[in-house]
Every structure is written in structure tokens, then in C-alpha cells.
Structure 1
């Protein structure tokens, strides 16, 4: 029997093994193809004769049982569990979705160290998974979060795997407890005592993030009063360090009490400790005691500062270039322009940026529009629209976790005829009353984006002084970077508008942007004599 052969009749024929992914003491793991869907999948096979203990079989069957009940995009999807007894051997196969990528352990062992924005993105992904697991009834506690059980996709998205150690009981009775399952260094004190709570997973996540920052296993880091003294080995902000301190506190009662609470605190880490929200796990008598003291002391005015509506938020986000090909971002710092969508006014905000990751701090609740722009040409005038642009709209609510923005930058296309490359177009802002006339059948041309790009265009006609949207006159899709405009002369009360978008395999990668003396816009407006 070859290394790809499975015991006859153990799994349905629709799952066709393609190559071996590894072999352990319990059995082996194969990459297969689901012939019904055409998608890759993973077959984990266990043999009782090869298993090192009954515990291995128990954990294997437990993983299958738990995966069958879960439905989350960052957890491998359960496809089937099959068993049979033959010739004194108990054989079992677990089949689940294949998640492409590398484990966090492999990435760190290759020498890579994560920056603070990357750690925030990683933590955000995994806290989302833990929030889902811990909100189930009863809560599902993973109990073995560590770098080798986290897979990062080629796009950097984190998924959680290996659910053999899970427990679905919130608290174990003092008399019972549970078998110790986990990995030393990533297990908090209560897990060593056979107890598991949601905070058990949070501690393991914190230890994992410290490993990604420092390259050190938590067991290699000295402890002070049972707390990991990781600061000498990492370069992060004090806000993130404080957050990791609480995430890995040796006493589970003093950690964050939920993944949701940890996520909210993560996005507030830039704020001074005294302005951050009161921890939810403070006991009710203590909170009422504080309120009573404030009343006695006549400090009611200060309580208004504790209202959730007065809290400010921090927004995390990432940038990438739109398109089907992986391309590096410019080695520049982008411009961040934030607008209050209710008032239309610009909002000044503190921002930080590092290799595609950004953070905006100090935002009160509200609706916002965020514009991010790269200017590759330092000679561009102040009102020049830039070279790369991304836009996103989002809402901040007082009692909800701020969204994480994932923004795709498109290339701005600039006209070369008529010239709009570092020089304002004459009459652009007032096509009906300025010098925006073109003669005859003009040719419009623009800077191209290379091979494999299609340019979708529209020619529209608008009425001067009217609030009605322009009507479509002509449209098409071309591969060349120029277009001959054959349109009749403009009536006195009308104008034409040229709209252009660039697409790669159907995905928007560029759009025409023009500018005048004082402003800029997406389309080019003109008249024909």
C-alpha cells in the first residue's frame, strides 16, 4: 500500500488523496481533492494500533465532534468523520477544509518578527474567532492556542486549527476538574490545575502574540510574580504592552473576561489608562462603592466623563494595491483625510503608518469617510489628486467595537490629451461658463496601466445648472489608452462628461481623476465647439 492509499471502504471515493502533508505518532495527514466540489481538503487518519494512548483517540474523536458543530470562516469546515473496526484495529478519518498558508510557528522560525500594526491585525482576527467560540452555548474553549495551531493565509488572514483539546464546559467543579491538555508555556496557571475558562484562551493568545513579537517561546521569558516579563524583548507602544500584560495576567479573574472586552481594549490602547473604560469584570459592589464616594465628595460632574458616548475610538486598517497581482506599496507615507459625513467638515486626527498598516486615534462616535492617498510625484501642486487613492466609509458607535478597515488602493489615471499631468485643465470647474471647449472630434488619451488592462468608458451629456444626473450617450470597453470622440457640437445649455475606469480581470484597479485650479473630481467635463 502506497503512502496515499487509504484502507478500503474507510472514506467515500469522492475524496481523492493527492499528497502527504505529514505523519505523526497517531497516524498521518493527507492533502486530498473533493471531487464533488473540486476543492482541496485534508484527511487526518488515526489508527488505534499506531496511537500512543487512548487519550489520542479521545482527542481525535472530540475534534471531529466539535468541528461538526462549528461554522466560522476562520475555522476549517467539517466535511466528514468515518470509522471502522477491522482485524483488531480501530481506524478513523476526519476530513475538513484545507486552509492554504503557513503556520505562525513556521513564519516566526523563518526569522520574521511582527510589527505592532501586524500584531493588532493578527489579534483582531483571532479575537473574532474566540468571541464566536465563547459565545456558543455552552462556550467552546480551545485550550491549545499556540503558534503551530494558527495558519496565516497568503493574504495574512489568521485561522485557528486543531480542536482536539477543546472543552465545552465553562467551569469545572472543584471536585472534578479535567485532564490537563495544552502546551506548556502557553497554558495559564488555572489550566495547569485542570480548569478552563474563556480567559484561558486569552492568556494563550497573549503568549502567542508575544512569541510573534519576540521570537521567544514564553517558557524562555523570565517571570516576575508569575507574569511574563516580555518588555525587554519587544519594541511596541506602552499601550499595547499594557494590553498584553492584562491579557496574560496569571490570575484569570484579572484578565479580560471576554474576547469582546479584549478587542475593545485593543482599539483603545493609545488612550491614557485613566481615560479607558472601566473594566467590565469589576464587581457590582465595588462600582457602587465608587459611585457612593463620588456622591459624598460632590464629584458628580466628573461622572459625565465616564459615559460611553464620550469615549473616543481608535481605528485600525490595512492598505493593499487593487488587482490580481501582489505588488509592493510605495515606500512613502500616505495622506489621511477624514471627513465627518454628517457635517461635511474635515476632522483632524492623529495617525500612524507602517508598511501598509495604519491607525487613527481619538475619534468620537459618528459617521466618517476616510480618504487615503499616495503622491509619488513630489512636484505635484497642492490640489493635485495624487497617484493612488482609497476611500472607505464607516460608523463608530458608543458601545460597539470599531471596525477594522481593509482598503484597496486604485491607480489614478491622468489625461495626457488634453493635458492634465501636473497642470490644471482650463475651465474644468465651470464647463458651461469657462474655457472648456474642444474643437472638432477631439481625441482623449491617458496614462496606461500596462498589459491585461481593460478601460471602460462612458460619455454622458449634462444640462448646465441642472441637478439632474447626466444621461448616457455612449459607452464601451477598450484596451488602448486613447479614444476618438465623435460627438455633435454642444448646445449652449449643455456639456459632455467623460468617465473612465480601468479593470483587471473584472476588478477595479484605476479611475480617471482630473483637476482644475482649485479642486479636482472623478470625471472630465468639456464642451465641443
Structure 2
């Protein structure tokens, strides 16, 4: 495509429906970016959703926050039988938080509390920003695979993939390995508390480096696995912080802004 030089496939995204993602050079801007493609199942399906999809992506390109992977631009391609949306995003060269945790686990038993607090604060800052938009933007796909880390310790959440898009794409499939990140009220009650539940799972995985039962075997994580992992933590404020996020009733979960003032995270600056 004019304006881009392609290098290789990348696995930076863990979004249901992403058919392919390439590391590319934006020759106009002179920076490395990720070229993402979402292919829709049929033209009729796309036509019915096109205006809504364009509005969603237009809003995503307007997001400006230091802890959110930048959406540069997007466009639609309807020339083929199966239309697609192409969008260009910031390239996070150091990979996902999940990959970082796996590397860390080889050398240490636990992530230091100070690093955990710093990461939580950055993620909560991004969620607070998304949820304060009008209307609120729900991430809907927050896992340690969709949080990215830079070499300087800066973390950014990516893959803001609204549910309305995920349910209309060709390759949308459930990933049973990550089902425990999904809030109990999904999909009947889609709101900010759903992201808080997913964040709580991320905070638990960051604290323990791995949730019991969520190894490479791909086994489904149970409530017992989650409880065992929380019980294995030593810091009581850290436990309380995570348990508040994982309340079964969405109305009982604190907001991202409220969590920023929890004793376990408020002792740390971004």
C-alpha cells in the first residue's frame, strides 16, 4: 500500500476478529507502526454496521493519553466481497505485559510491590480517562495480553475493541484461556464495571506473575484457582484492592478513579 513499507507479521494484538497485523513503516511520518486488518463476514453485515463502525473508529483516533496505545488513522475497504477495516496503531516494541511476566517468573517469585503499584496506577489512569468520555468508552478486552510495556517501564493499554465490532467479524472466537478476565455480567450489562473486573484479574496476574491454573496448558481458570492465587499474596492491602475489583455484583466494584485513591495504589505515582 502507498505510504507503507511492510516488514513482518506481528502478534501484538489479541483482539477477536483481527485477521492479520503487520509491522510496517509509515513512510510519510517516518515511524514504525502496526497495520491491523479486520475482515467482516459479508458485505450486507458490514453495510448495516458501517456508520456505527466509522463513528467508533473516529472516536478512537481522538483518544490522547500517555497510557493508551495510539490509534493513528483508519479507513474502510469495500472493494472485495468481504469488506474490511484497516487501522494503523502505535508499535510497542517491547511486547505485551503477559510476555514480560513470563520472562520475570523465570527469575523471581513475586513482582515487587512498587512495580505492581506503578503499573496499576498507569492502567487505572487510562481506564479512568476512557470511562470519563461521553459516552464512556468500554475497553471490553482487557487482559495482560492487551497491555503493553516499554523498556522504560511505561505501560499502555491497547486493543480497545468495542463489542459491537467483535460480534460482526469473520474470525471472532472465544479464547477459553482468557475467559476468567470476562466479568460475570457480560454480555447483558456492558459498562465500566466490566473493565474493572478485567483489571482486577490483570492486577492479580501481575502480583502473582501467573494465576494458578493458567499455564501454557490452556486449562480454564476456576474460581478456586483465583482464590488460591489471591491467598498466596502476602500484602493485605494488595489482596483487598484485587478483591474489591472482583466483586460479583458490578454495583459493588469501585470506579477506576476511586481505585486510584486506594491505599495500595495511592502510595505510588505514575
TM-score bracket relative to the smaller structure: 0.7 to 0.9
State whether structure 2 residue 253 is matched by structure 1 residue 251. Answer: no
Counterpart residue number, 2:103:
110
Cα distance, 1:75 vs. partner?
A: 1.7
Counterpart residue number, 2:237:
239
Cα gap change, 1:150 to 1:26, in 2 (>3 Å): closer
State whether structure 2 residue 94 is matched by structure 1 residue 101. Answer: yes
Cα distance, 1:50 vs. partner?
A: 10
The alignment of Structure 1 onto Structure 2 pairs a total of residues equal to 242
Counterpart residue number, 2:207:
213
Higher percent of residues as strand: 1
CA RMSD of aligned residues (A): 3.4
Q: How far apart, CA to CA, are the structure 1 residues paired with 2:121 and 2:74? A: 31
Counterpart residue number, 1:21:
10
Q: How far apart, CA to CA, are the structure 1 residues paired with 2:42 and 2:118? A: 40
Q: How far apart, CA to CA, are the structure 1 residues paired with 2:38 and 2:194? A: 28
Q: How far apart, CA to CA, are the structure 1 residues paired with 2:42 and 2:6? A: 20
Of structures 1 and 2, the one with the larger relative CO (CA 8 A, separation 6+) is 2
| Cα pair 1:66 1:163 within 8 Å, conserved | no
Counterpart residue number, 1:36:
28
Q: How far apart, CA to CA, are the structure 2 residues paired with 1:94 and 1:204? A: 25
Cα gap change, 1:166 to 1:263, in 2 (>3 Å): farther
Cα gap change, 1:117 to 1:26, in 2 (>3 Å): closer
Cα deviation per residue 1:405-453 (whole Å; 9 max; x = unaligned)? Answer: 7xxxxxxxxxxxxxxxxxxxxxxxxxxxxxxxxxxxxxxxxxxxxxxxx
Counterpart residue number, 1:230:
229
1:12-411 equivalences in 2 (<5 Å): 13-22=2-11, 26-48=18-40, 64-110=57-103, 112=105, 113-165=110-162, 183-191=178-186, 193-214=187-208, 215-216=210-211, 217=214, 220-223=221-224, 228-234=227-233, 236-256=234-254, 258-265=255-262, 268-269=263-264, 315-316=267-268, 404=269
Cα gap change, 1:93 to 1:219, in 2 (>3 Å): same
TM-score for the superposition, normalised by structure 1: 0.41
Cα distance, 1:32 vs. partner?
A: 1.2
| Cα pair 2:40 2:82 within 8 Å, conserved | yes
Q: Which runs of 5+ in 2 are unaligned?
A: 165-173
Q: How far apart, CA to CA, are the structure 1 residues paired with 2:148 and 2:74? A: 22
Cα distance, 1:187 vs. partner?
A: 1.6
Q: How far apart, CA to CA, are the structure 2 residues paired with 1:165 and 1:228? A: 29
Cα gap change, 1:229 to 1:251, in 2 (>3 Å): farther
Q: How far apart, CA to CA, are the structure 1 residues paired with 2:111 and 2:79? A: 48
Cα distance, 1:66 vs. partner?
A: 3.9
TM-score for the superposition, normalised by structure 2: 0.76
Cα deviation per residue 1:218-247 (whole Å; 9 max; x = unaligned)? Answer: 9535349xx84533333x311111111112
Q: How far apart, CA to CA, are the structure 2 residues paired with 1:47 and 1:261? A: 38
1:190 aligns to what SS in structure 2?
A: coil
Cα distance, 1:144 vs. partner?
A: 1.4
Q: How far apart, CA to CA, are the structure 2 residues paired with 1:106 and 1:264? A: 29
Cα deviation per residue 1:85-131 (whole Å; 9 max; x = unaligned)? Answer: 33523233111222222211212233524222221111000000011
1:124 aligns to what SS in structure 2?
A: helix
Cα distance, 1:186 vs. partner?
A: 0.9
| Cα pair 2:204 2:230 within 8 Å, conserved | no
Higher percent of residues as helix: 2
Cα gap change, 1:253 to 1:47, in 2 (>3 Å): closer
Q: How far apart, CA to CA, are the structure 1 residues paired with 2:60 and 2:77? A: 20
Cα distance, 1:212 vs. partner?
A: 2.0
